[in-house]
């Protein structure tokens, strides 16, 4: 069952038409504003500004004299805009199959291939994270219960090491892509276990024929892009220092993303299936404007619990929808309890435990 305001492309956690979840859905449905209306101008503006700023700053960082002040200044600027550019993969994922096809193609060609983060390696498994069947279970690619094990030093170290090696693994995934065709079993393992942009090592991707075609379509240009990095060095066109410089950009950008992810949810599940209310109560809305929260949650994705209620709601409408709900829902609605003052208020418990 779907309400009239929930488009067919909505891959939400469930309908939740009763109780306080139902109140939220009815409030959005009865609002004078259509919070599901997409603004192509907003999507294109955010994309082109992020793309231009990221690549310009990255270019200045890569060509500046090693250790010079232009290089030191360009590095954080490049990371900031690369992170914002990469965050748009989330918005590409939640666009409907026939919505803004030119935008999705442009993001993949100009952003996804260049940064080795094409959307076919994210879209399907991210939707599993929103699924009522998979959320919080071992089949959820983005949810690891007790990820830091209450501040256990070994688990924290393992998490940090995984972040450090993740850019290398992604690079090798594409550079060695032709080898996956040597044997059908190797190809199948590659598609299921090495074709998702997730740090959940246990996740195994479920594939449709369309997924297989989409992965193959981006593997070829991504292989060429990956091969170009050492190829230009071997040809003497780039200095060998280009490789560690690129790695530095990649690893800090990945680190920002993983820092954000530590506070998307409370990660208090036990690995079992949960109902829609538990799903949403395990998620967070960040309503403060502290600098760290604004840095880690670009494009209004800090309203993460609201996003899980309405995955198809465009990112640029989340803030307005949250304000509408805050003003119209009863004072005792559990929705208000989803608000958190800032990233650290949740991340601290994820990293250090409840004590």
* pLDDT at 11 (0 to 100): 37
Six-digit token pair at 314?
């465009």
Residue 100 — left, alpha, or beta (φ > 0 → left; ψ -120 to 50 → alpha)? left
Gyration radius of the chain's alpha carbons: 21
CA distance 337 to 348: 18
**pLDDT by residue, tens only, the chain of 355 residues:** 233 333 333 434 444 557 999 999 999 999 999 999 999 999 999 999 999 999 999 999 999 999 999 999 999 999 999 999 999 999 999 998 889 999 999 999 999 999 999 999 987 778 889 888 889 888 888 887 666 665 678 888 888 999 999 999 999 999 999 999 999 999 999 999 999 988 777 888 888 899 999 999 999 999 999 999 999 999 999 999 999 999 999 999 999 999 999 999 988 878 888 899 999 999 999 988 899 999 999 988 899 999 999 999 999 999 999 999 999 999 999 999 999 999 999 999 888 876 5
CA distance 120 to 195: 9
> Cβ of 61: how many Cβ atoms within 10 Å?
22
Cα dist from 85 to 20, 25, 42, 222, whole Å: 35, 31, 14, 17
The 3-state DSSP class for residue 223 equals: helix
DSSP assignment string, 167-222: HHHHHHHHHTGGGGGG-HHHHHHHHHHSSS--S-TT------HHHHHHHHHHHHHH
Cα dist from 313 to 94, 121, 252, 310, whole Å: 8, 22, 29, 6
Q: What predicted TM-score, i.e. pTM, was given to this entire model?
A: 0.91
CA distance 128 to 4: 23
Residues 121 and 215: beta-carbon distance below 8 Å? yes
* pLDDT at 214 (0 to 100): 92
Six-digit token pair at 73?
């200044």
Q: Which of 212, 277, 246, 249 is nearest to 14 (CA)?
A: 277
* pLDDT at 147 (0 to 100): 63
Location of structure tokens 């805050």: 326
């Amino acid at each position: 069952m779907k309400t009239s305001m929930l488009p067919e492309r909505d891959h939400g956690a469930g309908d939740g038409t009763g109780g306080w979840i139902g109140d939220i859905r009815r409030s959005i449905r009865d609002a004078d504003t259509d919070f599901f209306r997409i603004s192509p101008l907003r999507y294109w503006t955010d994309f082109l500004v992020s793309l231009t700023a990221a690549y310009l700053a990255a270019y200045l960082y890569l060509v500046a004299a090693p250790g010079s002040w232009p290089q030191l200044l360009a590095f954080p600027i490049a990371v900031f805009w690369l992170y914002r550019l990469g965050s748009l993969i989330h918005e590409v994922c939640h666009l409907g199959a026939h919505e803004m096809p030119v935008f999705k193609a442009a993001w993949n060609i100009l952003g996804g291939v260049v940064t080795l983060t094409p959307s076919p390696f994210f879209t399907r498994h991210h939707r599993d994270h929103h699924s009522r069947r998979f959320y919080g279970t071992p089949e959820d690619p983005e949810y690891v219960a007790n990820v830091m094990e209450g501040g256990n030093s070994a688990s924290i170290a393992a998490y940090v090491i995984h972040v450090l090696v993740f850019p290398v693994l992604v690079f090798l995934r594409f550079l060695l892509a032709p080898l996956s065709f040597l044997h059908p079993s190797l190809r199948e393992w590659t598609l299921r276990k090495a074709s998702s942009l997730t740090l959940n090592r246990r996740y195994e991707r479920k594939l449709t024929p369309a997924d297989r075609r989409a992965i193959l379509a981006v593997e070829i240009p991504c292989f060429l892009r990956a091969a170009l990095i050492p190829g230009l060095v071997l040809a003497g066109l780039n200095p060998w220092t280009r490789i560690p410089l690129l790695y530095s950009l990649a690893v800090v950008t990945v680190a920002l993303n993983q820092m954000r992810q530590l506070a998307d949810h409370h990660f208090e599940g036990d690995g079992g299936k949960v109902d829609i209310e538990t799903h949403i109560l395990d998620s967070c809305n960040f309503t403060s404007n502290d600098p760290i929260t604004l840095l880690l949650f670009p494009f209004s994705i800090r309203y993460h619990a609201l996003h899980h209620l309405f995955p198809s709601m465009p990112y640029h409408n989340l803030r307005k929808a949250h304000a509408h709900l805050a003003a119209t829902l009863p004072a005792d609605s559990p929705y208000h309890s989803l608000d958190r003052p800032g990233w650290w208020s949740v991340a601290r418990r994820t990293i250090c435990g409840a004590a």
